[in-house]
Amino acid sequence: MRRKRVREGVEGLIPYPPGKPIEELEREMGIRGSIKLASNENPLGTSPLAVQAIKDHLVRLNRYPDGSGYYLKSKLSEKYHLPLDRIILGNGSNELIELTVRTFLSEGEHAIQGFPTFLVYEKMVTAAGGRMTSVPLSDSRMDLKGILNAIRPETRVIFINNPNNPTGSAIGREEMLQFLKEVSEDIVVALDEAYIEFVTEEGVADGVELLDAHPSLFVLRTFSKLYGLAGLRIGYGFGQAWMIDYMNRVRQPFNANSLAQAAATAALDDDRFVSETLETVRDGLAYLYRGLEEIGLEYLPTQTNFFLIKVPAGGKKLYESMLRQGVIIRAMDSYGLPEYIRVCVGLPEENRRFIETLKRVL
């Protein structure tokens, strides 16, 4: 059969590895009572206020969503003290990554990222016919000087994940500010802050505070992690009004669904859930760190709700062994880190089970 013609670069793309549902893995492995610590999800579930808002809006599903996202954007405007025309909503922050590429990067043009980092950046650039340069991290941290040195005349977008997935490291405010001053004003800096709310280190860069430091800075955030809305796919971004205007011209109408908008709007008021989530993550990290130190395994301290662990026989082998015990973690081969696994914080009993299973498997 004759091969169908596809856009240059698409054939070489590797689909993002999302993992199977727990129920399917249990069926395949013949196990029950599995726990999932692989996808950096909120261990407490979903904001109760968001759940109630979803229930309240179920009777309106015959209507299209609010294409302007007025109520959610108004709530974000109030929280971050930014006008509505500097805010955009997305079908998860993933769609905003894609919108950044589709709006500001033409075929054949150039983008830069640190690596390893979130895999979707390169996927979107390549799918759009662009060219990505990956600058290796320096001691598991973003090498901003290396990124500056990688800039070419055809560079249009720079992706910075802060804190970075998968290493959990974060860039300081002064370092980021100096970097933004040295980047040409016509290069879009996409600052992905999906995990910014989990940061405990003083002085970490906050994209909202830096918006006016670079005229082409675009800050991405999400409701998936802190607020537990990963299944609804709702993200948001901040930028100059001219940037948001162009991105709105490119985005699909009704890209943020009704339930996602209602849930996210309500979740922004759920201070109790946010506080409990952050406390659970902090306590969980402390427990997991102690457990790994007792075992004698190296790990990378994190500013997120997940972290990397170096394992002796390789991440993929350990992933498979843990899976047979009903503990789902993430091997890091696709990130170029075959000797590591990534684990996110779970509930206290899930964290204990992880440590106990890890000891047994090792």
Q: Which domains does the chain have, with CATH numbers?
A: 22-46+271-361 (3.90.1150.10), 48-267 (3.40.640.10)
Give 103's Cβ-side CA count (13 Å radius): 22
pLDDT in tens, 64-91: 999 999 999 999 999 999 999 999 999 9
Predicted TM-score of the model (pTM): 0.94
Give first-to-last CA distance, the chain, whole Å: 48
State the pairing for strand pair 188-192/217-222.
parallel
pLDDT in tens, 117-134: 999 999 999 999 999 999
- Return the closest-CA partner of residue 357 out of 283, 288, 286, 285: 288
The region of weakest confidence among 2-6, 34-38, 94-98 is: 2-6
Q: What is the pLDDT of residue 25?
A: 75
58 DSSP 8-state letter = G
User: In the chain, what percentage of residues exceed pLDDT 70?
Assistant: 98
Cα–Cα distance, 238 to 218 (Å, whole number): 6
Q: What is the pLDDT of residue 314?
A: 93
pLDDT in tens, 22-59: 787 788 878 888 999 999 999 999 999 999 999 999 99
Cα–Cα distance, 39 to 279 (Å, whole number): 19
Residue 4 confidence (pLDDT) above 80 = no
Query: Residue for token digits 């109760």?
Result: 48
